[in-house]
Structure 1
């Protein structure tokens, strides 16, 4: 036999042995996998059988059932909220208790008297769930405080905070529509309510007329409110700045008393819509004055003038004035 044939025979023999060895290993792995699958299936079936047997037995369970307000006499209203939940002890098959625990029914509590039997109302609700027995309810009895229901109209208070793009502002005051709402509830709860606020809302970067729906503060279970939202709106314009020099005068001075000021005038800085600027520049829209009462209460010799806008046709916003105070002197005849 030549060396070539010898090497060939060794190669074939070695390859065959390796192949047979690998085949045996793969067969063993396949058998191992089958055993694992069989074991897993058997375990799952055993667990399901155990679950079926055990959940068919009777169990006791404490479950919290949500409470909602049901019927209330038309002319009366609650003074205090009902509890959110009732703790109910029940018994029944495990399967049915699991369903009850995952989907607890809501208990509508009808308030027709000052004392409410919660057990009875829970029992009525649970009658729709067969083979579940109510053992205990906590609280068993609710003492409710009912008062005469009244209604009251109150203004809406805006809690909308608006920030504008540079040089923009409201022309006039923003408005709410409706600007008032009707609230109803127990007399003692309504008595001290003077206004009803909106939610706190921030609106930024405004550079044009604004109109936006705003939610009112939630009224809760004890009060009813005629609207859930209002419209917040306002006209917006670009503003520019101007200045006016105003003489300081006096008001309410006794006859014969004359006062002189140093300086005798102040400079008022203001903002006005661009479209109104030229008209305002032709006017004298402010008055600066000091009253006799201010002088009587002062001991320093310097008083801050009061600045009043007397021209109401235009949408002027006073920013500041300088100087902030002036000296005053009695002028003797």
Structure 2
């Protein structure tokens, strides 16, 4: 191995010292740059704060939307028409005060005791607590209220639902709600014609087991409800398909007449809970018939049979019947 010469050692030391000085200078420049950025940011923040302090101490005009809330309603009276949601109020005062009102607008508690209310006076009374704030204008200035006698009555709850089931599943019987009726209260003209009160929509997809859900009742700002929600219950079971052939019969047939049909029987397909299918095997489930009046009034040669369920099993659901129409002939006098 060849030893380095004094010239090479000197050159290496010189290059290393130069690199060290260059790196040190770059670090100093970076530190100076960061210091300048910090100083600039602090100065900018102070300038903005000073600008706000100076400018928001001046007087300004501002339009703000204040929510309107009915208050002081007599127990035997009710609104038959809704109030405006907000009042447009023009106010003036120091910028600091106006910003506070703009960010958190106070409600106008409307004292509902007569058919006309001066909204300007109502706003003025509630804004008196805010010093150095002046009310310039209120729109609308006068509110005309439609007040009527308050009445109450009980109405049934009408559940609103859209439920899809897994294949071969469905409700046993009709779903029910608890309680099944509620008391509603409001202006007579609004309450008199109401025969039921709906729930919000219940949507369930792919149901295969019993459904028990709490459902909110529809809200109405003019009508009070005795409760806000009800319990929805629906019994779900797995169904199977059954099929039976039923001979056609004629009702109200005059004496001495006989009518033949082609075909002479109807195939009825039905659904029934699996657990109850075996109990129905020996039971007469349906009757298929036509009336003599149908024959007399027909001009096409084809009539539509009617299907009547004979079984007292309320869970049977007729799915289809075939054929939909039958031909008739050989109407004879005996």
Structure-1-length-normalised TM-score? 0.90
1:82 and 2:83 matched: yes
How far apart are 1:18 and its partner, in Å?
5.1
2:233 is the alignment partner of 1:233: yes
Which residue does the alignment assign to 1:291? 291
| Distance change >3 Å, CA 303–CA 18, structure 1 → 2 | closer
| Alignment gaps of 5+ in structure 2 | none
C-alpha displacement at 1:49, in angstroms? 1.9
Q: Does 1:248 align with 2:251?
A: no
Alignment of 1:51-66 (within 5 A): 51-66=52-67
Higher deviation after alignment, 123-132 or 31-40: 31-40
CA distance in 2, matches of 1:179, 1:129: 50
Alpha-carbon distance between aligned partners in 2 of 1:35 and 1:204, rounded to the nearest angstrom: 63
The answer (yes or no) to whether the contact 1:260–1:331 under 8 Å persists in 2 is no
Q: Name 1:41's counterpart in structure 2.
A: 42
Answering whether residue 103 of structure 2 is matched by residue 106 of structure 1, we say no
The SS at the match of 1:158 is strand
CA shift digits 1:207-249 (9 cap, x unpaired): 222222222222x211112232222212222222222221211
SS of corresponding position for 1:299: coil
Distance 1:43 1:208 in 2: 65
C-alpha separation between the residues in 2 aligned to 1:265 and 1:257?
Answer: 19
Distance 1:263 1:11 in 2: 114
Kindly state the Cα deviation for residue 290 of structure 1 after the two structures are TM-superposed: 0.8
Please tell me whether residue 92 in structure 1 is matched to residue 93 in structure 2: yes
Distance 1:73 1:297 in 2: 64
When residues 86 and 241 of structure 1 are mapped into structure 2, their CA distance, relative to the original with a 3 A threshold, is: same
Name 2:133's counterpart in structure 1. 132
Q: Tell me, yes or no, if the aligned pair for 2:303 and 2:326 is still in contact at 8 Å.
A: yes
Distance, in Å, in 2 between the alignment partners of 1:276 and 1:39 is 85
Corresponding residue number in structure 2 for 1:331: 332
Give, in angstroms, the shift of residue 14 of structure 1.
5.2
Equivalence map 1:12-51=2 (5 Å): 12-13=13-14, 15-17=16-18, 19-20=20-21, 22-24=23-25, 26-51=27-52
Partner of 2:309: 309
SS of residue paired to 2:200: coil
Q: Quote the Cα distance in structure 1 between the aligned partners of 2:317 and 2:212.
A: 22
- 1:116 maps to 117
Match of 1:267 in 2: 267
Q: CA RMSD in A?
A: 2.2
For residues 17-49 of structure 1, the C-alpha deviation after alignment (integer angstroms, 9 at most, x for no partner) is: 554455455445544443443343233223322
- Listed one character per residue, the Cα deviations across residues 152-188 of structure 1 (whole Å, up to 9, x for unaligned) are 3222222212222222222222222222222221122
CA contact (8 A) 1:66 1:86 kept: yes
Contact 2:270–2:316 (CA<8 Å) still a contact in 1?
Answer: yes
**Aligned counterpart, 1:180:** 181
- Matched-pair contact (CA < 8 Å) for 1:91–1:135: yes
Q: What TM-score results when the alignment is normalised by the length of structure 2?
A: 0.90
Counterparts in 2 of 1:251 and 1:129: CA distance versus 1, 3 Å = same
Q: Secondary structure at the match of 1:283?
A: coil
**CA–CA distance in structure 2, aligned partners of residues 231 and 292 of structure 1:** 48
Gaps of 5+ in 1: none
Identify if the C-alpha distance between structure 1 residues 188 and 258 changes in structure 2 by more than 3 Å, giving closer, same or farther.
Answer: same
**In 2, distance between residues paired with 1:283 and 1:9?**
117
